[in-house]
Structure formats: C-alpha cells, structure tokens
Amino acid sequence: MRKIVLILMICCTAFAAHADGKLKVVVSFSILGDMVGQVAGDNVELKVLVGPNGDVHEYDPTPADAKSLANADLVFINGLGLEGWMERLIKSSGYKGQVIVVTKGITPLSSLERGSKAFDPHAWQNIENGKIYVGNITDALALADKINSSQYKNNSKVYLNKLDNLDKWVREEINTVPPTKRKVISTHDAFQYFAHAYGVEFIAPLGVSTESEATAADMAKLIDQIRQQKITAVFFENMTDSRLIKQLEADAGAFVGGTLYSDALSASGGDAPDYMSMFKHNVPLLVAAMIKNPNPNN
Ligand SMILES: [Zn+2]
C-alpha cells in the first residue's frame, strides 16, 4: 500500500507544475510563433516574445519576458544570430531547460556585410527551410510532451503538405516574370534565402540586420545601381523604417511596390497573420512590381 501511495505522489509531483496539463512554450518571434502553433494546436500555452510587426533584431526584453522564460518548459529560437538579446535574457531569467534552435539542419547562407563572417539568419524566407523548422519543432514537442506526441506528428504532416503546395505556387508565380526583370529593392537584406530559392535578386541599403545604418555613400551607390540596372520596384518592410525607401523613390525614380512582410507577421486580421499568408501577400506584390521593371536589354 505504501508503495502505491509513493508512486502516486511521484506522479502527482510530475504533473503538479502544470495543473492544466499544458506545456509552457516560449518562442522568440511571431513567424516562428505561428509555426510552433501550427504543430502544437491547443496543446501548449504559447508565449511569443517579439510580436506582430516587431523587429526581432533590435528588441529590449521586458521583466514579463524574463518571467515567461522562468516558467517555460521549452524555448524555441531561430538562431544564426537573429536573437542577439536572447542569451542574456535566458541567463537573467534562470531558465535551465532546453533551447531548440529551429535552423538546425539547414544550409546557412553567409551574410554579405562587409568583413562579416556571420550567417544570414532569415532562413524562413525559403519554404524548404521552413519545412526543416517544422521538423525540428515537431521532434522537440513530441519529446517534451509524449502524451500528445501523435497529435503533434499528425498536425506536422498536414502542415508540411500545405507548405509543399505553397512552395510550388511561389515557383509558378515567380516564373511568370521574365528572368531579366526579377530584381527588387527592399530595406534590409532579409530575402537572400528567398532569392536563392526562387530566383529573384534583392538589393538592400541595409545589411542582414536592421541595426546597421546606410551611409550617404551606400545610398549614392545604390541609386547608381538602380539606374544602371533599370530597377523600378522598391519595397517597404513591415517592421523597418520607411525613410530609406522613400529617399530611393524620390532620388532614383523608383516606385514603391508595397510593403513586404520579412521578419514579422501582421496582427491577426492583417495582411500576413501567419507564415503561409506572408508568402501569399509578398509574392503577388513582387510579381506585379517586377513585371513593371523595364527590360534591361532595351
Ligand atoms: Zn531581418
């Protein structure tokens, strides 16, 4: 009898931390938050630190963030230097659990910034990489919460299938633009993975982080490049300052093709409230603007 009581006590202690039975998961930024949510469904209590339209490169964690981390069972980050503020936050919160880096297993692109040996963190802009994120998320959730593991695996399968179709659709859309016209200007270098995967050239006044600043010389060089290559399509980004792009529009005779979602989702009800709708929003804008680029050979 005493043995049974003891076993019961151990069981209850293991579950007591989460009376509602839900795994407490903290995710660094909104795009990753959506992906974790797609796999997890309603089975976890999800806290996203950098929310809709927030800049994950430059973020000041709050005391509430530290509290969320201190109570977390599992933490997901992008890695590749995206969340420079995370290590200090984890340390100060006292979180001792696992930190899952969802870019594990992707082939990272190097940052094009001068003299930099850093990696470009924006790997989610290639849907094939997004699928690797989903695989890593699924493995981590299934391991941390065995009771719901089959549900995570099922959700993952359905989601991966949708991502396959989305990837196919992106390729078809981009292919409607003649290859010589596939050039656009965005604010910061967030689309190199998209560029590599789908054959579009992106040129940006800022490097792979929004923390850098474009000098007058950088801007003059870019204006020359825009004129020479006859690029007319420039884009705002939802989470960066629009002044640089407005300057290009005025000085280089370009036109603004719209706002691209690069590092953050929109709020729910907006243009891009989830990872898939980010592509559904960005790609038609890119295609419409690139078609208008004059043929550089004329
Ligand atoms: Zn970025």
Asked if 289 and 233 count as a contact pair (C-beta separation under 8 A), the reply is yes
- Alpha carbon of 188 to ligand 1 centroid (Å): 7
- Alpha carbon of 10 to ligand 1 centroid (Å): 46
Residue 4 placed within a domain: no
Residue 2 placed within a domain: no
Question: Which pLDDT score, from 0 to 100, does residue 238 have?
Answer: 84
Residue 6 placed within a domain: no
132 and 266, same domain (yes or no): no
Measured CA to CA, the distance from residue 263 to residue 197 in angstroms comes to 17
Q: Mean pLDDT over all residues of the chain?
A: 89
25 and 48, same domain (yes or no): yes
231 and 247, same domain (yes or no): yes
Residue 3 placed within a domain: no
- Alpha carbon of 55 to ligand 1 centroid (Å): 8
User: How many domains would you assign to the chain?
Assistant: 2
- Alpha carbon of 210 to ligand 1 centroid (Å): 6
Residue 272 placed within a domain: yes
Question: Which pLDDT score, from 0 to 100, does residue 26 have?
Answer: 98
- Residues near ligand 1 ion, CB 5 Å cutoff: 190, 263
Q: Residue 125 is part of a domain; what is its CATH number? A: 3.40.50.1980
- Alpha carbon of 189 to ligand 1 centroid (Å): 7
Residue 9 placed within a domain: no
Residue 297 placed within a domain: no
- Residue 186's domain comprises 177-291
Among 169, 193, 213, identify where a domain stops: 169
Among 169, 194, 217, identify where a domain stops: 169
- Alpha carbon of 248 to ligand 1 centroid (Å): 20
159 and 182, same domain (yes or no): no
141 and 285, same domain (yes or no): no
163 and 246, same domain (yes or no): no
- Alpha carbon of 91 to ligand 1 centroid (Å): 24
187 and 43, same domain (yes or no): no
pTM: 0.89
- Alpha carbon of 190 to ligand 1 centroid (Å): 5
DSSP-assigned letters across all residues of the chain: -HHHHHHHHHHHHHHHTTTT--EEEEEEEHHHHHHHHHHHGGGEEEEEEE-TT--SSS----HHHHHHHHT-SEEEE--TTS-TTHHHHHHHHT--S-EEETTTTS-PPBP-STT--PBP--GGGSHHHHHHHHHHHHHHHHHH-GGGHHHHHHHHHHHHHHHHHHHHHHHHHHTTS-GGG-EEE-SBS--HHHHHHHT-EEE-SB-SSTTS---HHHHHHHHHHHHHTT--EEEEETTS-SHHHHHHHHHH--EEEEEE--SSPPPTTSS-SSHHHHHHHHHHHHHHHHHTSPPTT-
The predicted-structure confidence for 141-193, as pLDDT tens digits, reads as follows: 999 999 999 999 999 999 999 999 999 999 999 999 999 999 998 888 899 99
165 and 183, same domain (yes or no): no
> Consecutive 10-residue runs of the chain (298 residues): their mean pLDDT?
46 46 96 98 97 95 97 97 96 97 96 73 98 98 97 98 98 96 89 96 82 81 84 84 83 88 96 98 96 77
25 and 155, same domain (yes or no): yes
Backbone angles phi, psi at 128, to 5 degrees: -60, -40
